[in-house]
Amino acid sequence: MIADFLKKNNIDVVLSGGSCVSMYVDNPYESKDLDFVLYVSEERKNVDELLQSIGFFREGRYLRHKDTEFFLDFLLPPPSIGEEPIRIPAVIKRGKRCLKLLSPTDCIKDRLAAYYYWDDRQCLEQAILVGLKHPVDLSEIERWSNAEGMSAKFKVFLKRVKVQKK
């Protein structure tokens, strides 16, 4: 709904983070924040104005609404994982609604980035869950991991995904 509302107002976003994981799997680590990445940084101001017009209010870095426990975070562009721009985003359509989100492969890379750089084991588990349930490009994830200097941590992920897929 939020992405559609913004798109109707010429603002394009991509869902990322843990909420993206929840679109692909039953996420036991589900949080209440929805992370959207903007395509154009100048639209940040417009996002606030538009969402305030439908009842959202700013609380620190987040936008909240009295009718939901979920809150919104808008990340600066470009949609990327580390220094690399995301590949073509995935799209989920339900009726007239349309949501752009990270592909399963990019979703895994996003979660692995948190594991790689902050040793976030919960994000490793989320990456594994997505890898077990969806077809992903493991060679692309390995290429990216090597470019990030994280081949040893990639092997931890790969072993868990391959062992559980058997």
* Cα–Cα dist 71/69, whole Å: 7
pLDDT surpassing 90 at residue 40:
no
**Domain span at residue 50?**
2-165
Q: Provide the pLDDT confidence category of residue 148 given band limits of 50, 70 and 90.
A: very high
pLDDT surpassing 90 at residue 136:
yes
What is the DSSP-derived secondary structure letter of residue 3? H
Alpha-carbon torsion (77, 57, 94, 127), positive or negative: positive
Domain count, the chain: 1
Taking only the tens place, the pLDDT of each residue in 105-133 is 999 999 999 999 999 999 999 999 999 99
What CATH number does the domain containing 60 carry?
3.30.460.40
* Cα–Cα dist 125/102, whole Å: 17
Q: Which two tokens stand for residue 30?
A: 């589900």
Q: Which two tokens stand for residue 96?
A: 């007239």
For the chain, give the percent of residues with pLDDT over 90.
81
What was the pLDDT predicted at 93?
93
Taking only the tens place, the pLDDT of each residue in 43-57 is 778 899 999 999 999
Taking only the tens place, the pLDDT of each residue in 93-107 is 989 899 999 999 999
Q: Provide the residue type at 118 as one letter.
A: W
Between the alpha carbon of residue 115 and those of residues 64, 128, 150, 155, 161, the distances in Å are 28, 11, 10, 12, 15
Task: Among 37-41, 106-110, 139-143, name the one with the lowest average pLDDT.
Answer: 37-41
